[in-house]
Amino acid sequence: MRTYKGSCHCGQVQFEVVTDLTKAIECNCPICTKKGALHHRVPPERFKLLSGQDALALYQFGSKTAKHWFCKHCGIHPFSNPRAAPDMYSINVRCLDDFEMEKANIEVRSFDGKNWEEAIKTFKF
């Protein structure tokens, strides 16, 4: 396992995760597509918000189970608590400061979030 640091664009929200970053999920639902999120899930004990609690704002919709956190200053979505596992953190891999996606050898799997109810029944995270 490795420790990764991440942040929003303006740097007010900073976090770190301890994980084996070998896979990520690309969801095609409207919110994930529009914000360009590439998800990697970690349990709460491996996620730490380093700074910016006061800079975070929350967006919820639909069932209001998922928590979509974003920086209220720059608008970037560094992490969320996903609907499929609200006790976990889904970090946006694209917000990691010390990670180069182009050089990484990770598996990116697609999730059919447009058809969430059906897709969640068979998808293996």
CATH number at residue 34: 2.170.150.70
pLDDT on residue 125? 72
Task: Look at residue 104 in the predicted model and tell me its pLDDT.
Answer: 83
How confident is the model at residue 43, as a pLDDT?
97
- pLDDT at position 44 is 97
Domain that holds residue 82: 2-114
Is residue 123 assigned to a domain? no
pLDDT digits (tens, 9 = 90+) for 111-121: 888 887 888 87
Say which residues have a Cβ less than 8 Å from residue 71's Cβ, sequence separation at least 6. Answer: 8, 9, 10, 12, 13, 52, 55, 56, 57, 78
**104 domain-assigned:** yes
Please report whether residue 119 resides in a domain: no
The three state secondary structure string of the chain is CEEEEEECCCCCCEEEEEECCCEEEEECCHHHHHHCCCEEEECHHHEEEEECHHHEEEECCCCCCCEEEEECCCCCCCEEECCCCCCCEEEEHHHECCCCCCCCCCEEEEECHHHHHHHHHHCCC
Judge whether 23 lies within some domain. yes
**pLDDT score recorded for residue 103:** 83
User: What letters, b where the CB count within 10 A reaches 16 and e where it falls short, cover 21-57?
Assistant: beebbbbebebbeebebbbbbbeeebbeeeebeebbe
Does residue 32 lie in a domain region? yes
List of the chain residues with pLDDT < 70: none
Domain assignment present for residue 122? The answer is no
In a domain, 121, yes or no: no
For the chain, the domain total comes to 1
